């Protein structure tokens, strides 16, 4: 079970046969575990061997997660057994009077709890590392946004070669002058009636999706400030607008180009 949970968390490939063989090796610990000293160097060595058998390689990350899962599973099991039954220690082995069905339910509860915990932890970690706060300035106005750093956004302005930041229109329209706002919303573009100073700011970016080709309307802002560990001002950048929300839970309103 520990190996299965470790594989799920790390994403390492394994098979039921490898898990079974590694588990049998691990069960050897139970045979000799009447001496607590066995849980020292030999216990660690056998744990490393189990990981190597299960994944056909060994790395520190997998080992750390493996031991973390052991401690969490052990803690949950000890807590539940302490509530429902008396625990008897013989050497380094703990014995309980649980039925097989109750023990299986405990195992399932432990596995589900750990997987949910690590999924939440991974989501929070990704959010912290991938979602950045940015500030876009144009014509004396600016707006703060949360943006996802997406390696899949490789859009470049075909004229200048500048990287493109995708922004939800509803979040950016407040800083746009009326002529630019009308241009973004209009299907025809209204270029003929637009002031020259705004025409020079406009960009048209072609893009392709599965089975579809289209044109994104964008503009060249005065600056984009990326607020990470320290603020970085970027001027050679294009902002393209989209009219659909990018995040169902509103975690971000823009998508950054990794070249920024």
The better pLDDT of the pair 135, 214 is held by: 135
The better pLDDT of the pair 253, 199 is held by: 253
Please say if the pLDDT value at position 107 is more than 80: no
Give the separation between CA 254 and CA 260, rounded to whole angstroms: 13
List, for residues 37-93, the tens digit of each pLDDT value: 555 566 677 777 777 777 777 777 777 777 777 777 767 666 666 666 655 555 545
Please say if the pLDDT value at position 221 is more than 70: yes
Decide if 12 contacts 6 (C-beta within 8 A).
Answer: yes
Domains of the chain in start order, with CATH, are 2-98 (no CATH), 131-256 (2.40.70)
The alpha-helical segments, DSSP class H, found in the chain are 2-10, 16-32, 41-55, 60-84, 100-130, 169-172, 178-185, 196-199
Instruction: Please give the backbone phi and psi of residue 59, each rounded to the nearest 5 degrees, phi first.
Output: -140, 160
pLDDT at residue number 236: 94
Angle (nearest 5°) at CA 5 between 58 and 14 = 50
List, for residues 169-204, the tens digit of each pLDDT value: 999 999 999 889 988 888 765 565 677 788 888 989
pLDDT at residue number 143: 96
Residue 107: CB atoms within 10 A of its CB come to 14
Please say if the pLDDT value at position 232 is more than 80: yes
What does the buried/exposed string (b/e) look like for 20-31 if buried means 16 or more CB atoms within 10 Å of the residue's CB? eebbebbeebee
pTM comes to 0.55
Q: How much of the chain exceeds pLDDT 90, in percent?
A: 25
- Residue 210 — very low, low, confident or very high, per pLDDT cuts 50/70/90? low
List, for residues 123-151, the tens digit of each pLDDT value: 766 666 788 899 999 999 999 999 988 87
Instruction: Please give the backbone phi and psi of residue 135, each rounded to the nearest 5 degrees, phi first.
Output: -130, 125
Question: Which residues face 231 on adjacent strands?
Answer: 227
pLDDT at residue number 129: 74
């Amino acid at each position: 079970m520990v190996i299965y949970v470790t594989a799920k968390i790390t994403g390492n490939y394994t098979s039921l046969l490898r898990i079974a063989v590694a588990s049998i090796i691990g069960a050897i610990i139970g045979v000799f575990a009447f001496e607590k000293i066995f849980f020292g160097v030999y216990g660690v060595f056998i744990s490393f061997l189990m990981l190597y058998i299960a994944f056909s390689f060994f790395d520190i990350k997998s080992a750390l997660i493996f031991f973390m899962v052991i401690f969490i599973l052990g803690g949950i099991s000890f807590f539940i057994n302490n509530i429902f039954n008396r625990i008897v220690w013989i050497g380094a082995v703990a014995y309980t009077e649980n039925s097989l069905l109750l023990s299986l339910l405990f195992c399932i509860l432990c596995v589900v709890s750990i997987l949910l915990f690590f999924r939440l932890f991974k989501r929070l970690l990704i959010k912290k590392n991938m979602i950045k706060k940015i500030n876009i300035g144009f014509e004396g106005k600016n707006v703060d946004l949360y943006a996802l750093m997406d390696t899949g956004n490789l859009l470049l302005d075909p004229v200048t070669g500048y990287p493109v930041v995708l922004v939800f229109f509803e979040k950016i329209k407040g800083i746009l002058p009326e002529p630019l706002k009308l241009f973004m919303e209009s299907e025809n573009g209204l270029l003929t009636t637009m002031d020259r100073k705004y025409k020079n700011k406009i960009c048209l970016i072609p893009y392709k999706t599965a089975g579809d080709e289209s044109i994104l309307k964008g503009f060249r802002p005065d600056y984009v400030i990326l607020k990470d560990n320290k603020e970085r001002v970027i001027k050679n950048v294009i902002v393209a607008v989209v009219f659909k929300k990018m995040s169902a839970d509103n975690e971000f309103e823009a998508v950054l180009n990794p070249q920024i």
